[in-house]
């Protein structure tokens, strides 16, 4: 558990009132360009909610980033994935601002972190400066925008959190000026029978419902016939002004005959609950179609705190002979909305068909631990790995086993253990556990080797195999050649790659002295900045060592000249 400094604790008594009344004028913008969003707070991402807003940086890097208010830097991290280069500023009013995917820090912060990197001889570092050690003022330059970490394109990931609870809150609630006069867009509507005896339109499965726009701007669904407990879900998105991105909506409200059954919004959530997103979306549909249906009802295992109002878990009980009008109201933060009316009639299904449940030889009880022997491997599911009980499809094998499919989400890590006793010790060195993708390509899974057992911990169901990697990583110079004069160069770049198990670690020396080379996995490049002033000889010898995830190593030794 991270230690909380005395300075942060002192902020607590000043922050209680502020946490309930978000200050609109305390903070400035993080950049001096128009704020256009590429991503909204609470947006549905893979296995998590988006914890901030993504601000466009005009499709380029290097835009100055400013502190949104007076404060002190409490955390700086440089990592290959996640937020990449990121810094955290604690403000006196009880909030912490977060700036991610940075290209580089301001000169003073850059010198601070680079000293740490050279001391630890590591590109990836994390530090928690003492409270007050690195103070900043509102509007002060703190960094430049970039594309580091898990970013898929240049932008600034920006958050505002509580300094005490660390819960992220929607940055738009603090007066961030974002132009938005555009309504959300509804793409698809679905109705769900929620019990074995429920049905919708003579169907016992999820059913798509058509709808049309009316003259007053609202939407009207085709009449639905149903009986028993049913639920409503939709596929939709928000669109802001001056941006074509499909963003997440802010709030969803379902009412029936004027009574609110479900209301949730994305004002705030905790990181500890974010993985419960897999209960808010229809994960089975997502696994098959790569589209997220957002439910207006609570499914089993849903422990989200985003609900402001809830009646009968958002489930609508339809009785025979009665009529109902459900209204789905979808809003963005600016108040732009979609209003959809769904007429429902309680009608008994006369077709007599029943909901079919696919049964297998194995059944998982979510609230109990589950062990299965798959021949060449064993799988162990701890208690509460899954949200609900289900029949699991398991395929045994010697070196390849299948554990259901990606249509069921796992909330906790489970373990897969392969028996490798039939392989020699030399062969075992080159083996690793891999998950096969849809095209049967192996993707390295972190493999723990203990004697004749190889184990991986994962949350992803699917097909796993033992793969062999006997080829060392490749290394080649990128922007210079052997014995080239580099007098006017600001940096040198080397390209590294490993086509199977992936790069595990690397190191580089210049004239025998360790140097900092920044690794960008998305471009497979290592970069050394000549500002580090280690290249102080006319003839310089560069040595780069790269090791993959099974221990295959390659070394590049080259030289260049520089005055």
Domain residue spans in the chain? 37-173, 185-346, 362-468, 474-561
Question: Which residues touch 215 (CB under 8 Å, ≥6 apart)?
Answer: none
What is the b/e burial string over 354-363, where b = at least 16 CB atoms within 10 angstroms of the residue's CB?
eeeeeeeeee
pLDDT, residue 358, reads 85
Rounded Cα distance, 158 and 100, in Å:
6
pTM for this predicted structure = 0.91
Span 36-49, pLDDT tens digits: 999 999 999 999 99
pLDDT, residue 10, reads 45
pLDDT, residue 353, reads 60
pLDDT, residue 19, reads 41
pLDDT, residue 118, reads 95
Quick one: the chain helix, strand, coil %, rounded to 5?
Answer: 10, 45, 45
Q: Do domains 37-173 and 474-561 have the same CATH topology?
A: no
Report the alpha-carbon angle 246-252-253, nearest 5: 155
Q: What class, spelled out in words, does domain 362-468 have in CATH?
A: mainly beta
Q: What class, spelled out in words, does domain 474-561 have in CATH?
A: mainly beta
Instruction: Using the structure block, give the residue that is written with the tokens 């603090």.
Output: 174
Neighbouring-strand partners of residue 553? 547
Give the three-class secondary structure for 106.
Answer: coil
pLDDT, residue 12, reads 44
Can you list the residues of the chain whose pLDDT is less than 50? 1-3, 6-19
Cα 202 → chain centroid = 38
Rounded Cα distance, 382 and 368, in Å:
7
Q: Which is the CATH superfamily of the domain at 37-173?
A: Glucose Permease (Domain IIA) (2.70.70.10)
How far CA 441 is from CA of 338, 398, 428, 446, in Å, comes to 42, 18, 20, 16
pLDDT, residue 351, reads 64
> Residues 538, 562: contact at Cβ < 8 Å?
yes
Rounded Cα distance, 437 and 456, in Å:
16
Neighbouring-strand partners of residue 474? 497
319: left (phi over 0), alpha (psi -120 to 50) or beta: beta
> Residues 186, 214: contact at Cβ < 8 Å?
no
Q: How many CB atoms lie within 10 A of CB 241?
A: 12
Strands (E), 447-511: 448-450, 453-458, 462-468, 474-477, 484-485, 491-497, 503-510
């Amino acid at each position: 558990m991270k230690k909380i400094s005395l300075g942060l604790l002192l902020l607590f008594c000043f922050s209680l009132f502020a946490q309930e009344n978000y200050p609109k004028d305390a903070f400035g913008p993080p950049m001096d360009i128009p704020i256009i969003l590429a991503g909204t707070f609470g947006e549905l991402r893979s296995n998590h909610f988006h914890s901030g807003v993504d601000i466009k940086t005009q499709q380029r890097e290097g835009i100055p980033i400013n502190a949104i208010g007076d404060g002190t830097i409490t955390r700086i991290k440089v990592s290959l994935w996640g937020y990449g280069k990121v810094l955290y500023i604690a403000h006196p009013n009880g909030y912490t601002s977060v700036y991610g995917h940075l290209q580089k820090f301001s000169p003073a912060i850059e010198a601070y972190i680079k000293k740490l990197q050279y001391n630890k001889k590591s590109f990836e570092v994390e530090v928690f400066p003492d409270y007050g050690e690195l103070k900043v003022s509102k509007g002060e330059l703190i960094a430049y925008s970039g594309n580091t970490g898990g970013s898929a394109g240049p932008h600034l990931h920006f958050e505002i959190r509580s300094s005490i609870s660390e819960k992220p809150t929607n940055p738009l609630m603090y007066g961030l000026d974002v132009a938005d006069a555009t309504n959300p867009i509804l793409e698809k509507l679905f109705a769900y029978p929620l019990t074995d005896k429920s049905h919708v339109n003579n169907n016992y499965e999820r059913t798509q419902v058509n709808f049309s726009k009316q003259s007053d701007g609202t939407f009207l669904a085709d009449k639905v016939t149903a009986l028993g407990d049913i639920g409503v879900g939709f596929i939709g998105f928000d669109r802001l002004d001056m941006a074509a991105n499909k963003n997440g909506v802010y709030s969803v409200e379902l009412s029936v005959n004027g009574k609110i059954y479900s209301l949730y919004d994305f004002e705030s959530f905790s990181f500890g609950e974010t993985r419960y997103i897999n209960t808010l979306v229809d994960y089975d549909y997502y696994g098959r179609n790569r589209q997220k249906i957002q439910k207006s009802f609570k499914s089993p295992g849903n422990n989200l705190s985003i609900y402001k109002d809830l009646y009968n878990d958002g489930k609508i009980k339809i009785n025979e002979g009665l009529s109902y009008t459900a209204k789905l109201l979808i809003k963005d933060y600016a108040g732009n909305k979609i209003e959809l009316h769904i007429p429902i009639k309680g009608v008994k299904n006369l077709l007599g068909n029943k909901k079919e449940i696919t049964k297998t030889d194995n059944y998982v009880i979510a609230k109990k631990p589950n062990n299965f022997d798959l021949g060449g491997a064993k799988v162990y599911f701890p208690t509460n790995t899954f949200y609900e009980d289900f029949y699991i499809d398991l395929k045994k094998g010697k070196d390849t086993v299948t554990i259901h499919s990606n249509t069921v989400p796992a909330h906790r890590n489970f373990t897969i253990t392969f028996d490798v006793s039939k392989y020699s010790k030399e062969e075992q060195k080159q083996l690793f556990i891999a998950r096969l993708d849809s095209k049967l390509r192996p993707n390295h899974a972190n493999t723990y080797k203990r004697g004749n057992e190889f184990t991986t911990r994962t949350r992803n169901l699917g097909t796993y195999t033992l793969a062999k990697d006997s080829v060392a990583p490749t290394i080649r110079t990128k922007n210079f050649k052997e014995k080239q004069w580099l007098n006017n160069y600001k940096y040198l770049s080397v390209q590294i790659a490993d086509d199977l198990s992936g790069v595990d670690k690397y190191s580089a020396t210049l004239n025998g002295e360790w140097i900092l080379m920044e690794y960008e996995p998305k471009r497979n490049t290592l970069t050394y900045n000549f500002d580090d002033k280690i290249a102080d000889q006319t003839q310089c010898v560069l040595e780069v060592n790269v090791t993959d995830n099974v221990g295959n190593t390659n070394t590049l030794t080259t030289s260049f000249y520089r005055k």
